[in-house]
Structure 1
């Protein structure tokens, strides 16, 4: 079952360090978020199952008991491709970050971090969701369709399963089809102006999109404009 994206202001914190979990809950509650807390992987899955229709985002620690964060993420992604997940981790190895993103995480934040940085990332996520509530158009080009109400993407009438980040990236490209968009534009509008990281993350996600949207389909829709960025159009 693929659960559609919801717009609730609810956050699930999955963290086994009580002091940090309590601190985050206090700060997020003060900012008017509805906060749920889980101290291990099994409890996280219980909370997710009970509240998946109202959850807006999951803040997921990597190193937690019973089921580690990566396994929790994989299980969440079997149920929904659209619920935003932010990894909170002390790991700063590039390979670990790539593993998290490859398995469906939408973002990561490395401990220790300032609460203002986390709040900024949450604002980006909920701002995108609020914007999608205002209007619910269907975007189409060739045989590709994106329905913003059902949050479904199809190509040749076959369902295309995307992560939240891939969906938002494709939506932006569709909103600007036939236009050339730069990497900086994509970073600002898909990852948010508060994003801290390397710009090649755009190229990584464009590759993910191509594998899901263009591979085994014609015509090719996602094109590289060398030295500038990308465009979505039917023909080069």
Structure 2
């Protein structure tokens, strides 16, 4: 893999360089927002994963994330930040981050997150390539249909727009088994493909943004099962 790590703390970069070398990954560092965009824009398709700190000099990380997403909607993006409020997390995920790691973090955990995100991205591409051509919508319920190849989603005949890659994967996981309750830790494993490290707020933040986009086209179909997790249920949702 080739990693672009956007981080102004040189000590953190030096630490992660040791772990990247151990994995035999290629990597480059950008130490401010302007340099980050210059390196990314030079060849957007060469990067396998972007690691992005939000507190950057010259250009804020949130703006960098938004600029990256305007160029590429699919490059895996993990945000690194000391910000720990739910509003910051929701904003970052809403811009299009696939994962969110709060500092201080364990390098081993971050490496696991990177591997899981890349593995999930590759698996999704394989699944899409093997989808039957004569069955466009491969997930269907009473009022819902999803084409995982074209990544189109419809509720009540209306398109659900602007889903981020992780929001799409989360919705696919829930809708593929209607009325089944998923715990947050199960969703972390199924959607993010890594074991639970105490980051259940990542799931909650994605659910919040996903609900907002679904409510734009119809009644809410993602239900909270208090004390357990979430489920998809569109029965009776006229």
Query: What's the TM-score, normalizing by structure 1?
Result: 0.78
**Partner in structure 1 of residue 50 of structure 2:** 58
Pair 226,88 (structure 1): closer, same or farther in 2 beyond 3 Å: closer
Gap regions ≥5 residues in structure 2: 132-137
**Partner in structure 2 of residue 37 of structure 1:** 29
1:230 aligns with 2:235: no
Counterparts of 1:158 and 1:196 in 2: how far apart (Å)?
34
Per-residue CA deviations over 1:201-235 (Å, capped at 9, x if unaligned) read: 434422322221243336x5434445543333431
Counterparts of 1:20 and 1:108 in 2: how far apart (Å)?
17
**Partner in structure 2 of residue 179 of structure 1:** 180
Give 1:64 shift: 2.0
**1:48-127 counterparts in 2 under 5 A?**
48-127=40-119
Per-residue CA deviations over 1:117-155 (Å, capped at 9, x if unaligned) read: 111111220121122233223433356443333444455
User: How many correspondences in the alignment?
Assistant: 227
Per-residue CA deviations over 1:31-66 (Å, capped at 9, x if unaligned) read: 133323222212211222233234332101122222
Give 1:168 shift: 1.7
SS in structure 2 opposite 1:66? coil
Counterparts of 2:82 and 2:205 in 1: how far apart (Å)?
23
Aligned Cα root-mean-square deviation (Å): 2.9
Counterparts of 1:103 and 1:183 in 2: how far apart (Å)?
22
**1:185-196 counterparts in 2 under 5 A?**
185-196=186-197
Query: What's the TM-score, normalizing by structure 2?
Result: 0.78
Give 1:94 shift: 5.0
**Partner in structure 2 of residue 28 of structure 1:** 20
**Partner in structure 1 of residue 147 of structure 2:** 147
Pair 195,58 (structure 1): closer, same or farther in 2 beyond 3 Å: farther
**Partner in structure 2 of residue 3 of structure 1:** none
